[in-house]
């Protein structure tokens, strides 16, 4: 009976050690997972900021190009109107 009781005591000690080891492993894994999530979030925020800046640049350049195009169209229209109002002798220089 004493052997059985001693065996149970050793078994319980080993189970307690195993449970403690497993709990430590889980805590380490949770810490690694948390670190990984924090890193991913940091990358996401950085990517979001870069994308936002890039988009703002595209918008600004598009607005600038639209303004240049508008000015070019206005200038082209002024040339067309000037040509339409020119005397007939200057309209057809080939004749």
- Render pLDDT for 70-82 as a digit per residue (tens, 0 to 9): 999 999 998 888 7
Task: State the pLDDT at residue 6.
Answer: 81
Distances 80 to 6, 33, 35, 69, 84 between C-alpha atoms, Å: 109, 69, 67, 16, 6
Residue with tokens 């890193």: 39
Task: State pLDDT tens for residues 18-54.
Answer: 999 999 999 999 999 999 999 999 999 999 999 999 9
Average pLDDT over residues 47-72: 98
Q: What is the 3-state secondary structure (H, E, C) of 23-78?
A: HHHHHHHHHHHHHHHHHHHHHHHHHHHHHHHHHHHHHHHHHHHHHHHHHHHHHHHH
Rg (CA), the chain: 40
Average pLDDT over residues 57-86: 91
């Amino acid at each position: 009976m004493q052997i059985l009781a001693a065996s149970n005591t050793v078994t319980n000690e080993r189970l307690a050690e195993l449970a403690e080891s497993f709990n430590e492993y889980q805590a380490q894994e949770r810490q690694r997972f948390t670190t990984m999530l924090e890193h991913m979030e940091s990358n996401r925020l950085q990517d979001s900021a870069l994308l936002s800046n890039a988009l703002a640049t595209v918008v600004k350049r598009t607005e600038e190009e639209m303004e240049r195009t508008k000015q070019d169209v206005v200038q082209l229209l002024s040339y067309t109107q000037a040509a339409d109002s020119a005397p007939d002798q200057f309209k057809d220089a080939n004749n």
